[in-house]
Amino acid sequence: MWRLADLAAAVGADLAGDGEVRIRGVATLERAGPDQIAFLANPRYRAQLAGSAAGAVIVAPAERDTGSQPRLLTSNPYACYARVAQLLHPAPRPLAGVHASAVVAADARIAADASVGPMTVVGSGAVIGAGAVIGAGCAIGEGSEVGPGCLLHDRVTLYRECRIGARCVLHAGVVIGADGFGMAWSGSEWLKIPQIGRVLVGDDVEIGANTTIDRGALDDTVIEDGVKLDNLIQIAHNVRIGAHTVIAGCTGISGSTRVGRHCRIGGGVGIVGHVDICDGTTISGFSLITKSITEAGVYTSSIPSQPHREWMHTLAALRGLPELNKTLRDRRRGAPTSPEEGESS
């Protein structure tokens, strides 16, 4: 358990109230108990604050006098909650060492305080850094590197010569460095183009379950520092994702596309190849990006759902747009828009 005063100091928040309160975990305003801390980041939940049984709360300075609980004051309650939760709920860590069932090449280098789980294979020349944790059934390809403090959950596959930076988290089923989809049509068959680049992942990157990042065809595929990727994302060969960009699940990014820094990309987005997305861009979920974006802003191309009958009317109107557009163009040119108009003139 943590003293509230110690938590405030650790996360850089201001303390209001009794700093001796002991906190063991985090919870919602509705369900928190006297030894838990809750947070208020959305004003819609302000009514729950007064009735909460939480031992302490994390709030913005404007909420200093709302309720009676001791509180941590911060301009970003949600980010503060994340830091507090990390302190109160640290991930369990296995003992250092290599499991007896792991297969490790003689020339692989594994830090003394790293942990390698059962049935994992570590290839020739691979390097596993200090404090790294490699889960069960992982495959670390020859010449690959896993940086210090990384956590690879079970069944992560790291192909040959790929590199993972420091403090990264790769969830189960992630595949780094599979061949990019490079094929050349000979006139009668598809010829495979050898994919000789690598995948380079920066520091503090998190990659969700079953996400795949292909190796470069010639140059490398690059994921810069602080990028956060959700589950089931496909990143093709020679893509570059800028630092601190976040991408939600089921997004697909085609080859040689460059996504800038501090971008936010919603779920189910499709981005064609060989385009550039500038820094600070937000793309709404299920949008299709077919050309470069050169000015930061919010971009949306999906059509929100509506009742079926209304959608059928919308679809009928959409189908009529080409003819309507032609009619408008004809009128601007002064041409007849129908046979009857032509006869009357």
Residue 18's SS3 state is: coil
Where do runs of H (alpha helix) occur along the chain? 4-11, 46-51, 77-88, 308-319, 321-333, 339-344
Give me the numbers of helices (H) and strands (E) for the chain, helices first please: 6, 39
Length of the chain: 345
Contact 221, 200 (CB under 8 A): yes
Q: CB-side exposure of 124: number of CA atoms within 13 Å?
A: 0
Closest CA to 193 of 206, 184, 204, 205: 184
The b/e string for 202-240 (b: 16+ C-beta within 10 A; e otherwise) is bbbbbbbbbbbbbbbbeebbbbbbbbebbbbbbbbbbbb
Place of tokens 């059934």: 137
Angle in degrees, 0-180, between the axes of helices 308-319 and 321-333, rounded to the nearest 10: 40
168 SS3 class: coil
Distance CA 104, CA 278 (A): 43
- Tell me the β-bridge partners of 330: none
The 10 Å Cβ neighbour count of residue 30 is 12
Q: Which of 99, 153, 171, 237 does the annotation list as catalytic?
A: 237
Under a CB-based contact definition with an 8 Å cutoff, are residues 72 and 11 in contact? yes
Tell me if residue 244 is catalytic.
Answer: no
* Bridge partners of residue 283, in order along the sequence: 265, 299
Task: Please identify every residue annotated as catalytic.
Answer: 237
